[in-house]
Structure 1
Amino acid sequence: MIETDMAITDVAVTTPAPVVSVKPVLLSTPGRGEDLQVRVSAPAVGRELPVIVFSHGFGWSLDGYAPLADFWAAHGFVVIQPTHLDSRTLSLPPEDPRTPLIWRYRVEDMKRVLDQLDLLEASVPGLGGRLDRSRIAAAGHSWGGQTASMLLGAHVLDPESGMEEDMSDSRIKAGVLLATPGRGGADLSPIAAEHFPFMNPSFADMTTPTLVVAGDRDQSHLTVRGPDWFTDPYFLSPGGKSLLTLFGAEHSLGGISGYNVAETTDEHPGRVALIQRLTWAYLRHVFYPEDPSWLATRSALADEPEPLGRVESG
């Protein structure tokens, strides 16, 4: 059944289901130094459930991004959230030899989740046999967006070898990139060039269908450019992408990283609700082309007298 909430830009969503969430599920990770902690959230009902593997932003953990994870799970997705080595919960010191390679460990974490889907599926009571392994999306916010983009086909110039490396994964069929950093080189600020040399992506080979979400007031100290830096994954990648530009949004995009989070400088529940519904509708569109939700949400947004954003595709 489809219901429409007129208070939130007329974006239609399916009726929410109860959610079962289990954490932490520990995945053995030889050579990483820490077992990989994972949270799995799933609707209590439904079969052939598509999967979203979500990469958190710098410092966060499996406990973050509840506004997105809760919504996606309540509306038919299994959401899997690994805790990367940069999480504040792990307190990895800057001098740790793994620190310069965390960008690489992050991608490996996401792939390890895919490698051990059977174990993760079994960790949630009643979830066994209900996953649709042919419909898997990668999503991420900020640094997590760069992590997800590499699974989608973006290449990063390895600061050690100077070579571009393909770390994409064919199991990933769709993506959602939220406030994801743009190209490096001359576009990086001096502090970013010095401390984050791995922030040098190429999106020329990112061919997987992807929704890019960017705020038009997201001014980062990591770039000498303006908020348009965060639209690079859309404009510098091949066609088949969509871009949601959020009006007035800063890096937290209204508060997607958590409820009542202090680092949210642009708290806006309506904006978060819009992101929830549009990301859900986009993934439904990619995984089930006959689903009308994406076209309906775009139309509803365009018809708003004072829209919170705009969508374009190319």
Structure 2
Amino acid sequence: MSAPFTEAAGLPVNTAQPVLTYSPVTLSVPGRPVPLEIKVSAPVHGENLPVILLSHGHGASNFLASLHGYAPLANFWAAHGFVVLQPSHLDFTGLGLRDDAAGGPLFWRSRVEDLRFVLDHVDDIEAVVPGLPGRVDRSKIAAVGHSLGGHTVSLLAGMTVTDARDGSVLDLRDKRITASVIMAGPGSGDGLAAPAAGMFPDLAGSSFSQMTGQALVVVGENDHNPVFSEQDNWRADAYYRSPGPNKTLLTLFGAEHMFGGVSGYDAGETTDENPERVAAVRALIWAYLRSALDSDDPAWADAVAALTAQPTPWGRVEVAAGL
């Protein structure tokens, strides 16, 4: 017997409201081969709205790895009180730049520059979206990234990359971002398998030893791919190998790399399709960010209590004691 899908998998969230979506907001970026396009999703009502920068993955799909993807996340977070800003990075397949442009195929450094540029131009973005001017709280900014987007967000939170060519260490953190969520991001470079290091040499220089920013690291229990690493918990390195007590690990039971389908509704690239798992993931991230951006908001404590009390919990939460 079938049952209707739920919005938040039994986890406490506030009342959803209609969402306005506006895209693309187009920004001209000096030196970028194409303009930066951004999709904006926001609740129809409300003031002092916090902001989520959402960085897409690298995926093989034609459109999901761009501003066109991740609707199950963006729509939910906007319906529950966030302004979600989704840029299309240069590795978006539709741009045709992966194979022959400087910085390809990952454009990992350009991705960070994209999010910085978005932050630099929040005023311009807000001004062109009907119904949004005057409603954005610039003091409450979070960044969320999935897969390669998790690498992007890790860099903004303080992960460093050593350039194999000259040994220089790049630190691209941005203190305007108060909280980060790293979903299935790549782990440390020293755990990268040889095949992946050959394909993506820049990932081999990644280190979390200086990543001090506040972060939730989200991993799938079954997200293991020996092409990338022989280490079972490699994608949890941002939690285990970064300093400070302000790291939280959320492990989703039975989940693979797409957490049930976060990149799009009925996405063919999802190997573990489960709409209720998606509902749980997005509700838990929403709750984490509410409390991370406002210490008086009990959303995260309430969500963790509800998760623990479920007869069959979707996952488990661990909190770092600090290194």
TM exceeds 0.5? yes
Tell me which of 268, 286, 306 is aligned to 1:262. 268
1:22 equivalent in structure 2: 22
C-alpha offsets along residues 185-242 of structure 1, whole Å, 9 cap, x if unaligned? 3x21222111211113211222221111000100124433244111100111122111
C-alpha offsets along residues 247-288 of structure 1, whole Å, 9 cap, x if unaligned? 111100110000010000001111111111110000011111
One-letter code of the match for 2:268? A
- Does residue 198 in structure 1 map to residue 202 in structure 2? yes
- Does residue 32 in structure 1 map to residue 32 in structure 2? yes
Tell me which of 226, 244, 248 is aligned to 1:242. 248
Structure 1 residues not aligned, in runs of 5+:
none
Q: Percent identity?
A: 51
One-letter code of the match for 2:263? S
Closer/same/farther in 2, CA of residues 133 and 222 from structure 1, 3 Å limit: farther
2:123 equivalent in structure 1: 118
Q: Give runs of aligned pairs for residues 1-314 of structure 1, distance below 5 A.
A: 9-59=9-59, 60-99=65-104, 102-185=107-190, 187-199=191-203, 200-238=205-243, 239-314=245-320
The CA deviation at 1:7 is: 8.8
- RMSD over aligned CA atoms reads 1.6
TM-score (norm 1): 0.94
C-alpha offsets along residues 71-115 of structure 1, whole Å, 9 cap, x if unaligned? 000111000000001101111141322316711101000100001
One-letter code of the match for 1:210? A
Bigger mean CA deviation after superposition, 248-257 or 94-103: 94-103
Runs of 4+ in 1 over 4 A off after TM superposition: 5-9
Closer/same/farther in 2, CA of residues 266 and 122 from structure 1, 3 Å limit: same
Closer/same/farther in 2, CA of residues 139 and 216 from structure 1, 3 Å limit: same
One-letter code of the match for 1:299? A
* Distance (whole Å) between structure 2 residues aligned to residue 204 and residue 218 of structure 1: 23
* Distance (whole Å) between structure 2 residues aligned to residue 6 and residue 264 of structure 1: 19
Residues 22 and 123 in structure 1, CA contact (< 8 A), matched pair in contact too: no
* Distance (whole Å) between structure 2 residues aligned to residue 283 and residue 101 of structure 1: 27
Aligned length: 309
One-letter code of the match for 2:25? V
Bigger mean CA deviation after superposition, 86-95 or 266-275: 86-95
Residues 10 and 297 in structure 1, CA contact (< 8 A), matched pair in contact too: no
Residues 9 and 304 in structure 1, CA contact (< 8 A), matched pair in contact too: no
The CA deviation at 1:163 is: 1.9
* Distance (whole Å) between structure 1 residues aligned to residue 99 and residue 93 of structure 2: 12
Structure 2 residues not aligned, in runs of 5+:
60-64
* Distance (whole Å) between structure 1 residues aligned to residue 124 and residue 266 of structure 2: 33
Residues 97 and 105 in structure 2, CA contact (< 8 A), matched pair in contact too: no
The CA deviation at 1:28 is: 0.5
